[in-house]
Structure 1
Amino acid sequence: MTARSVLRRVAIPSLDREQLYDVDIEDGVFTRIEAVDRRADQPGPITELWPGYVEAHAHLALPANFDDSLDDPRISALSYLYHGVTHVADLFGFPLLKSRWEAGAAASAHPYPELVHCGYAATATRDAMGLTGHGVEFPSPVFMLGMEEDLADVLHANRARGGTFLKVMFTDGTEQPEMEARFSRLSPKVLEHTERVTREQGVPAVLDCNTREEVLEAYRIGFRLFAHPVRDFVLSDEDWDLLADARFVTTLSGLRPMVMERAEFEAEYGRPGFLATQDPANLEFVAGIEEPYGIQYKCQDTRTAALRVMRENNLAALRRGRMLVGTDCGNTGAFHGYSLLGELDLLAGESADPELRHGIRHAATVDNWHFFHRLAQREAGAHPISVGAPATYNLFAAARGADDTPLSTLPDATVVAGTPVDRAAIAREIRTLRDSASTGKVVL
């Protein structure tokens, strides 16, 4: 029997911000999207239909909790759905949890988010100064690229694990000028070989870079996808001209917990959805914080400056259509699903500018969706909301006129391939997992 549903006179701002549409769905697919009226002529509140949110930078196998515990991937998957996140790009570590994720998806009454991953990241070897490549400090394997011949083994190993793109750690760990390097970096010869081979094989490569110098060097070699914005300098118009088609993922959420005060933590984790999806022990922990981690580790000023520069470069990328939205979740204090909505607020700041708000949400949905499919090495189609595409979307009740509700506001409804997401049922299931003998945690 065919399953049908309809949406009448809804706005689809990512298609046309002035138009209203009638939408038909059959068997989980959009079958009709027809312009029927002008938005300005519709009295009263208007429902907006947006594509599902896409997390462009996640680490499912890193412990986001303040006690360094790792949530069961079933909880992470359900947390994404709860917050309207329907697609997730994991930028290294997923194979450690792959079997658990797949078993959870097979047994779940809820549709899991679609996921794409790289396998494990590639980084530099130890150098003469004793520095190791970025990535080895995390509780997840990384591959070492010491010479060009190592790349073939890395690509083969990740492909065998289901990876469809390559994550390359190319940074010495500096974030502000005159800082000491923390990590060794790949040699230009190895980096050039990596760009050439991945391009020839059609394997997308995402680079982890911090500084303007690193990004400019990698761009000159041929890389175009960067896992973070530049942290040390606000890029000039001339810089942006040199980086003509580069794309940058935002990741403010992954760095900000380092510099937050107790009251900021409590406000950040006080939004709807936190207690329903995350370990409440995190709230108890942040309530006892005496001073930011940045002060304890003597990097408060440099990390604060890095965040300011990152946001400015994010917004400059947004104005040029080159911004993607991610969180680096899995870093302490950056939580799956929850932090992506928080990232939208961090980007918007205090602004109620409708153009800025539209651009941020468009980046987190449509632009991220194209990025997701690029990482998956498949054609994406013209738009996620189109006839024949899976009916995966979020609905928001939009007030008339200026809308100053936080961008982090939960969707009023989330649908995945035609199946409505039951947020209350998800919260109950997460609570059951946390009340189990495992307390909803896994050990790698």
Structure 2
Amino acid sequence: MKKYSIFHVALVLTLFIPLLSKAQTGIFTDGPGYRRWSIGVNGGVLAPVAATGGSNDFTKWKASAGYGAYIKWQLLHALGIRADYTGGKLAGNNDRKLGDGSVPNRGLNSFETKLKYAASLSAVVNVATINWLYRHNYVQIYLSAGGGLTGYSPRITDKSGTTTDYKAGGKNIQEFFIPVGAGLKFKISPVINLDLGYTMYYVDGDNLDGYNYGPNKDKYSYGYAGLEFSLGSSNKSQLAWQNPAKVMYDDMVEQKAKVMQELETVNANNTRLSADVDKLLKDADGDGVSDYFDKCPNTAPGMKVDGSGCDLPRDTTPRQLITKVTNITEADRRLVREAIQNLEFEFGKASIKPTSFPSLDRVAKLLVTKGFSLKLGGHTDNIGSAEKNMILSKDRAESVKQYLVTQGANPSRIEAVGYGANQPIASNKTAAGRQKNRRVEFTLY
């Protein structure tokens, strides 16, 4: 085979490699759901002439029987890869006179070429379909093009009637060719298709008819009718008959319906959630507890309720009448001094230590029974910032007040004041002095 023929084969294969690569990376992801493979057989007429390019080196061509077979892999809805085999014979003569009525002077009378094989690999494109508004088609128009190799052996007859082999011993000649074709396909059943086609073969040489005449290379054509058989499970459709536009449209309709259904579900959920929120927020008796959690839904207006919406327990203990005593005895003062001496707080905090509770309880009882008033003055040492010391002294005085109130003392008769480190009673330079300055003074009146 010639070097440039090898180049042509490589070029054609290069064109197919990107298509195969894209197929593997998911151009058509639903391929497993269809039948892709098919085989075909056909028979028809071979002629040493092409619809575009004219005839070969003899003035008259003859139609001869031809046959073929192929195997095809459908890559996409509209694109397939087909391997073809064609055989038969080609024949022609110079019986046709020229345009001026003269007999052509070609030196030969006729030829007959045995086309031993023509093997090619082609891309087949479905360019048009009938009833394209439907998901499944039944008629297709397709085009094909590719490249291949053909082997043949011509026999020529001269004007004396002597027939000889073009190559001694009928030696086979091999050439590269380019097949270009078109066809019409009909779907007969889910498995069988009727295939009508016409293919032109442009040979890279000028010895197909055993005669080299003029600058043009040889060509021939094959018109055929055949049957194509789809391979695979009968439960699957043939990919080539699926209408991609209709499939896409149906998928869009299906997706739209799915989205609308999801929106309806979301709206229904939103409506239900809104109703639940309204249910949680509704408070018919205005007690601050929603009806959903309210175990006492008919609470009277203005009543204080607990977390379940029920009235808080009322204090039914009889109030003790207090007779105000104006005189403060020495025993009263001693009791207050003991409370001051026993009062201790957590380090750096306003929390009273439990050891201080008994003496504070006695002060609270004194305030309740005798109706005395009490001023609490909180003091600290000078360790730390003045602002923090002022806050701590105030908090400690308030802490004592709160404890006395919990023991029954009247909060309106207790005043809590913080002085920080502003009123020391000892030097802050010594630990003992600072200890004395950290105090809460009780002033009974």
Greater strand fraction, Structure 1 or Structure 2: 2
TM bucket (normalised to shorter chain) is: under 0.3
Query: TM-score scaled by structure 1?
Result: 0.17
Structure with more contact order per residue of length (Cα contacts < 8 Å, sep ≥ 6): 1
Greater helix fraction, Structure 1 or Structure 2: 1
